[in-house]
Amino acid sequence: MAVNAKKCLKFDAGIWVIVVKSAARVCETRRGNLPAAARGRTISPWPSFVNIISDSIGLFMIHSLRDDFLVDPEVVFLNHGSFGATPRPVFETYQEWQRRLEWQPVQFLGTDIGEYLAEARVALGRYLNAAADDLVYVPNATFGVNVVARSLRLGPGDEVLATDHEYGACENAWRFMSRDRGFTYNSRPVPLPLPDASELLEQFWAGVTPRTRVIFLSHITSPTAVRFPVEAICARAREAGILTVIDGAHAPGQLPLDLPAIGADFYTGNCHKWLCAPKGSGFLYARPEAQHLIEPLIVGWGWGEGRTFTFGTDFLDSLQYPGTNDYAAYLSVPAAIEFQASHDWPSVRSRCRELVEQAIGRIDALTGLPSLYPQPAGDAYCQMAIAALPPIIDLPAFKKQLYDDFRVEIPCIQWGGRQFIRISIQGYNTVADVDTLLMALEAMLVGEAAGASLR
């Protein structure tokens, strides 16, 4: 279809103005289908996301999110899930906080830091629908899980129940403590595709015993990119007097969150993944009734009867100020929230979700392997999903070749004797990124099949 792209102009920082004939046609471009006539004259590649500022007079401002992010444009970056990526304005805020600290370190760290952190907690609390004093910034979700695993007074005879989809570093935190304190860590197998929420709850609950003291679960899992029905599990656990610890490393930014409604006793999450805040910005939430169970991981000025300052509660004092540090990532979280709000993130997310679904469908069609999600997938995944790979002889080498030969950054995962590829789609990704992945997979799987048949 031809769009009458009368004029296409590029302004600073990825702002484009395109004058077209009718609003109806711009709906096409909004999905990224810029017709060839316009593409040749203007934008290559087509911006990953467009913001239509005005559609009444045929003047459209288009904003490319790709230009906002610092990720190497030469890389087909389909692994937002591992470490996130930060938009330029948020990164500038982060560096500004670092400069402010260096300008007057004594004033910053000795006097002002409590107020700055309180403001940053208020913004995050609003975003998570939680009271600012019920959450504290920590460097990352691994840290958050460690705080809880070390704090809870578990011992011989006690059990922690989890699934076989948990993130390795966090499993290690529990296993380390179980070795130290003598409790048992049970990793319960949950099949793929996941059963529906009520069946999953029953299957998981069959692992609960009279000795189960804690349930530990990912909200969105790392190796399998599935969303667990944590609300239902937390509610049942509360009735049974079992504490719940939710690893929400992937949730903020991918899912709208209401922490009190989720009902976990403890919920840790990362802001540096899908919320796009700078690296090293995570949080630990504890519901008020459970906060007394938390102890400091690093014992510093915030502990003891004779403490010389307080942030208002023992929970905050235990964790908020573990000594001299660079707190800039925490203080930039409000800027990340603001960035997403000002870019209509619900629309970005739903566009990303569509593209993930297309990508997974195309990979499944290429491999001929069944989907790892229920059909239709509904809310089983968000911006990150997996597809099965046929047997790959050397998976790390396969992943390396995707990068070396095609510049595609994407994780290939070995889990439960199966092999997956995990695709992440963030606002800066385009259909062209998925096309490149498919082209690479097609070429490499043919080679792989030929190699296998020779053996």
* Candidate segments 162-170, 184-192, 360-368, 418-426, binder of ligand PLP by CB under 6 A: 162-170
Q: Rounded to the nearest whole angstrom, what is the least distance from the CB of residue 187 to ligand PLP in the complex?
A: 14
Q: Rounded to the nearest whole angstrom, what is the least distance from the CB of residue 215 to ligand PLP in the complex?
A: 15
Q: Rounded to the nearest whole angstrom, what is the least distance from the CB of residue 162 to ligand PLP in the complex?
A: 11
Rounded distance between C-alpha atoms, residue 265 and residue 256, angstroms: 19
Residues in the chain: 455
Exactly one of 20, 85, 138, 141 binds ligand PLP (CB under 6 A); that residue is 141
Q: Rounded to the nearest whole angstrom, what is the least distance from the CB of residue 384 to ligand PLP in the complex?
A: 9
* Candidate segments 125-133, 136-144, 339-347, 366-374, binder of ligand PLP by CB under 6 A: 136-144
169 is a contact residue toward ligand PLP (CB under 6 A):
yes
Q: Rounded to the nearest whole angstrom, what is the least distance from the CB of residue 267 to ligand PLP in the complex?
A: 12
79 is a contact residue toward ligand PLP (CB under 6 A):
no
Residue ranges in 255-294 that form contacts with ligand PLP under rule CB under 6 A: 270
Q: Is 127 exposed, middle or buried (0-12, 13-18, 19+ CB in 10 A)?
A: buried
Other beta carbons within 10 Å of 72:
10
Exactly one of 48, 79, 140, 163 binds ligand PLP (CB under 6 A); that residue is 140
Rounded distance between C-alpha atoms, residue 334 and residue 44, angstroms: 32
Give the nearer residue to ligand PLP in terms of CB position, either 86 or 222.
222
Rounded distance between C-alpha atoms, residue 315 and residue 135, angstroms: 9
Q: Rounded to the nearest whole angstrom, what is the least distance from the CB of residue 139 to ligand PLP in the complex?
A: 7
Q: Rounded to the nearest whole angstrom, what is the least distance from the CB of residue 169 to ligand PLP in the complex?
A: 6
Give the nearer residue to ligand PLP in terms of CB position, either 76 or 249.
249
Give the nearer residue to ligand PLP in terms of CB position, either 123 or 169.
169
142 is a contact residue toward ligand PLP (CB under 6 A):
yes
Give the nearer residue to ligand PLP in terms of CB position, either 38 or 331.
331
- Applying CB under 6 A, what is the total number of residues that bind ligand PLP? 14
Give the nearer residue to ligand PLP in terms of CB position, either 65 or 162.
162
Residue ranges in 208-227 that form contacts with ligand PLP under rule CB under 6 A: 218, 221-222
Q: Rounded to the nearest whole angstrom, what is the least distance from the CB of residue 280 to ligand PLP in the complex?
A: 8
Q: Rounded to the nearest whole angstrom, what is the least distance from the CB of residue 331 to ligand PLP in the complex?
A: 18
Give the nearer residue to ligand PLP in terms of CB position, either 60 or 77.
77
**What sign does the CA torsion over 270, 91, 87, 343 have?**
positive
Give the nearer residue to ligand PLP in terms of CB position, either 121 or 250.
250
CA distances to 125, 150, 263, 355 from 295, in Å: 21, 8, 21, 43
Give the nearer residue to ligand PLP in terms of CB position, either 51 or 140.
140
Beta bridge partners of 219: none
* Residue span 311-330 as binding mask against ligand PLP, x where in contact by CB under 6 A, dash where not: --------------------
Residue type, 208: V
Give the nearer residue to ligand PLP in terms of CB position, either 25 or 250.
250
List interacting residues with ligand PLP (CB under 6 A): 82, 140-142, 167, 169-170, 218, 221-222, 247, 249-250, 270
